[in-house]
Structure 1
């Protein structure tokens, strides 16, 4: 197999999206943003990115797309979230297509080892079930997992400088075979059956996976590292809303309980991961029809001219109906007429779609308190505030270990001790990235491992998987980018 071009990978992504019944143009925008953020460290990548996406050569659209796409290195795209939340049979193919996009993007411009780390974590992030959060390996029968693990095998061989012939399954002999990546698929060769041979029946369509129960989703929440107070609040909300639904079914009066929330916390404290689980929990309770998460920031709500912002915000809200709209750094909407137009539109849309939409706004604690307090229309609708505390060193070490395992890398006690040393020397100011910081450490270490193996002609499977203490090196917190570096990792954190 040869590595596909970005243009071909994006075209394949659109094809899969069309087959899944979702907007191909939206899928392409996600793919272009994912490719830009993966390739961002590569010198001159914007030239190749523009050529592959059919744009005139300019750095501005590339870096705009890279900024939007940073969240996709650590969390599902909106379309992937929609397909996964609905148990779509097309989810594995879409995840594999996104993996192809990430792999192709790592080769744009002059490749830098950091882009290889970006590609690996971006591919892993598209799994439907947050593998970096589970303390055990992914379920072997999960088609999405199998599809993405195939992609990770290709990425690992790519960054080690090998040809990309398939590796033995990293799941072991008992694993279910994974779906081929979109760049591997070949058209079948038609063979004429002998005369009189009965025609084979058409294969049955792939069944959709059953939706997760509330209990399963709450169990996933409980498996997250740390976040004790957050878990308790989400459990309480689930219990209250469950009883509200039972009272309504019994014909009893029910209080008007607002479902919208404010997530207060520093970068990388798990806000996006928990928002995704909230979307699933609310859908399992029958309060939302789909359960997808649509994550945006100011740039995706505000347009360049007055009047356009209302339309842009309404379109974003429409894409989130049936699920959760998650607005990161929501306080950035304060202070100008464009932001006020977005807020006014948001309040109207929340009221018009209150039966099938939940909005979660998130950001630093103090600016969020000011933001909500300054807007009466918001204050009356956001009465539930959830506080996300910073992680301890022990929690960050645990998060690093499960992130590495989710991306198919092995780390031993020596690596984790090296991580503890690095964390002990990092300034924990208000912009410290928490789990995002250790996610960036992991991405950088994956790049260093690739560089370390550059002259090994045929690395073993163990060499491709093992990270060594010297692969970890301290990075400046400023490199993490604070809130601008994308949504929270614990999936991120991984979010």
Structure 2
């Protein structure tokens, strides 16, 4: 506006700039009430010189010019760390509109990228891809080497042959029967369900039925979201990570508790149908609750036609498992310690929820702790002392005599040992009768050490 006024005014005509405009160059503020004096100019030139105004305009432009753009944090980290796909430090371009993103080819969740980290399924897939393919004979040999599980081994062998022949028939051009490969595992914790599921995944891969043969182990918390509608998405994402392998849903009956679990079940049934040739689902849990779970959706029971029951381990089998666990930890239980452990195992009630191998692991952990306490006063124990587990390590040292006495199996009342006082005293063969007739003959000597074994109810307690 000031420039236009100068051009219209002509030479020798002073124009006072409007409010908000300041003349360029040094000025003197007028006194209060005085008229604004025009700046003296050389030779009667215009006091508001156009060149000065343009120079002032240029200085204002310099003030308003945006500062140089600062590189983003991502570009700085890329330049310093040399991440894949990052521009070279010398050629690093500032971020902003039109700038190429650093590492544009990275995928969230893949190792080594700027993603959020691999999920459980993605990690299992990566491990399966790195693991060399094992032969069918190797996998079946490992299955047969497991302690106990005779019925499980037999059923897995039968299922393997069934699927092998089915594959051969398909290759020969024969009609392919509609067989479901999904399985139900029933049993208490610690009976080897996850171990067998991992072997099944490898067996299916060796048969050519699955591409990767990895195992993705989940439970309710990894399938159910906090809101309706989100659960279906979350379940499908988990299924996507298991494609080409086995999805193992532990304690699957937890999905039958509410509408969120029902949404997960419905999504799972649909995904099992959509990916029938690239996905195997194994659901596991206690027998009773699993029956309720399979009844929640009409499509579940028809898709799980094979049920394999994992029996609780016998006492001798738990003894072998305990010895194997100790050996892997570089401990050696003495034969007497193993006998004590087997007697402990015999006293455990085999109710729903019995831990089996997990219980054996807990006993071993406690034995290792007692072993260390037993050596507390030994400054330089020998290698044998560091390795050997004694009976007092398996059970508490102070209470061991009384506890071991209660673990002795009761003698048959009609077959007393020769020379036993029961031969001459019939009441001695019946501890209950002794308790009712004579308190002093309740199966204890005056010192309080038990002489007769307790009842089965006492053992269970």
TM range, normalised to the smaller chain? 0.5 to 0.7
**1:431 counterpart residue number:** 353
Higher percent of residues as helix? 1
- Aligned 8 A contact 2:111 2:118 in 1: no
Q: 1:447 to 1:82 in 2, by over 3 A?
A: farther
Residues 363-413 of structure 1, C-alpha deviation per residue, up to 9 Å, x if partnerless? Answer: 111221222123111111111111111111111111111222233322221
2:143 maps to which residue?
221
Q: Where do residues 247-266 of structure 1 align in structure 2 (5 Å cutoff)?
A: 247-266=169-188
> How do 1:164-243 and structure 2 match up within 5 A?
210-243=132-165
**1:443: which partner in 2?**
365
Q: For 1:306, which of 209, 220, 228 is the aligned residue?
A: 228
1:378 to 266, 277, 300: 300
Q: Give the unaligned 5+ runs of structure 1.
A: 1-16, 31-77, 89-209, 475-495
- Mark the CA change 1:464 to 1:322 in structure 2 (over 3 Å): closer, same or farther: farther
Q: 1:400 to 1:352 in 2, by over 3 A?
A: same
Per-residue CA shift, 1:137-189, capped at 9, x if unaligned?
xxxxxxxxxxxxxxxxxxxxxxxxxxxxxxxxxxxxxxxxxxxxxxxxxxxxx
Q: Secondary structure in 2 aligned to 1:254?
A: coil
Q: In 2 relative to 1, CA 24–247 (structure 1 residues): closer, same or farther, beyond 3 Å?
A: farther
Deviation of 1:24 after TM superposition, in Å, equals 7.3
Aligned mate of 1:343, from 265, 290, 297: 265
Per the TM alignment, residue 327 of structure 1 is displaced from its structure 2 partner at its CA by 0.8
Segments of structure 2 that go 5 or more residues without pairing to the other structure are 1-109, 397-461
CA distances 1:329-360 after superposition (whole Å, capped 9, x unpaired) = 11111131100011011112212222111100
What secondary structure does 2:354 align onto?
A: coil
Asked if 1:328 corresponds to 2:239, the answer is: no
Please tell me the root mean square deviation across aligned C-alpha atoms, in Å. 2.5
CA distance in 2, matches of 1:347, 1:225: 34
- Inter-CA distance 341–403: structure 2 relative to 1 (3 Å threshold): same
Match of 2:198 in 1: 276
In the TM superposition, residue 262 of structure 1 has moved relative to its aligned partner by 0.5
Going from structure 1 to structure 2, the CA distance change for 1:462 and 1:79 (only over 3 Å counts) comes to farther
Q: Deviations over 1:263-308 (max 9, x none)?
A: 1112222211111110110011111111111111111111111122
Q: Is 1:25 matched with 2:112?
A: no
Indicate conservation of the 8 Å contact 1:85/1:280, yes or no: no
Structure 2 contact 249–283 (Cα < 8 Å) conserved: yes
Matched residue SS, 1:346: helix
- The TM-score normalised by the length of structure 1 is 0.54
Cα pair distance change 1:449/1:323, threshold 3 Å: farther
8 Å Cα contact 1:18/1:24 also seen in 2: no
- With over 3 angstroms needed to count, the CA separation of the structure-2 counterparts of 1:463 and 1:328, relative to structure 1, is same
Larger Rg computed on CA atoms = 2
- CA, structure 1 residues 464+303, in 2 after alignment: closer, same or farther (shift >3 Å)? farther
How far 1:452 sits from its partner (Å)?
Answer: 3.9
User: Which residue matches 2:336?
Assistant: 414
SS of equivalent to 2:167? helix
Asked whether 1:365 is paired with 2:458, we answer no
C-alpha spacing 1:445/1:363, structure 2 compared with 1 (3 Å): same
Contact 2:188-2:285 at 8 Å conserved across structures:
yes
Aligned-residue offset at 1:457:
4.6
SS of alignment partner, residue 25 of structure 1? coil
- Normalised by the length of structure 2, the TM-score is 0.58
Deviation of the 1:438 alpha carbon:
0.8
> In structure 2, how many angstroms separate the alpha carbons of the residues matched to 1:329 and 1:422?
28
